[in-house]
Chain A
Amino acid sequence: AQTVTQSQPEMSVQEAETVTLSCTYDTSESDYYLFWYKQPPSRQMILVIRQEAYKQQNATENRFSVNFQKAAKSFSLKISDSQLGDAAMYFCAHAGGTSYGKLTFGQGTILTVHP
């Protein structure tokens, strides 16, 4: 069974600064996918970034980037130049290659952005 652990229940950052959210996972599969989702208060969950495990290059999407350490089973999210709109709950998620799209989520990290 897969497990995903986010050890930071809450994080805060000043506007325009950088913050890193941590995520570790455990899986027995060799082929899998990792995701970071963002859930703003009372709004829809949206995908922030996705990483295929077979790719060594870390994924980036504008101000969002990941540090994927496959051997350590670590998948952290870095948000650069933080904006007020980044405030949300962030979930790390894993989908095994044989899970046919089923996601296992971490506990979530609440990110507060201070002006």
Chain B
Amino acid sequence: EADIYQTPRYLVIGTGKKITLECSQTMGHDKMYWYQQDPGMELHLIHYSYGVNSTEKGDLSSESTVSRIRTEHFPLTLESARPSHTSQYLCASSPPTVIGTDTQYFGPGTRLTVL
């Protein structure tokens, strides 16, 4: 399995709280991604980054924000959690390639429940 980590693995929190989901990888990958996945459903890209100080919104609109200050770290923040944010959040990374695309390695995910 790839060296990509997510914390916490499970989080139950009340409405209105600010939360940060952590994602770190030790592989030196330049590209990192955040996906949202409801139970038993497909993955939707919500944020991605091609390197330090680069962040873009994905195909699925999300109220979350991300930052990429260090290559290995790509945290996701929700300023005010709501029950509609309840989902699983998966982080992934992929190595630099001249081709433009490559295999993505996934973290274990964070299951977020907002009460």
How distant is the Cα of A89 from the Cα of B43 in the complex, in angstroms? Answer: 12
The main secondary structure of chain B at its interface with chain A is: loop
Stretch at the interface among A16-24, A41-49, A55-63, A69-77: A41-49
Interface residues on chain A, size class: 20 to 34
In the complex, chain B residues whose CB is within 8 Å of the CB of A43: 108
Contacting residue for B103 out of A50, A91, A97, CB 8 A: A50
Q: How many contacts A-B (CB < 8 Å)?
A: 62
- CB of A33 within 8 A of chain B? yes
Chain A, 85-111, contact with B by CB distance < 8 Å: what is the 0/1 string? 000010100011111111111111010
CB-based contact B103/A47 at 8 Å: yes
Contacting residue for A45 out of B59, B94, B101, B106, CB 8 A: B106
A-B contacts, 9 listed (Cβ < 8 Å):
A44-B2, A46-B106, A47-B103, A47-B105, A91-B42, A96-B101, A99-B101, A100-B31, A102-B33
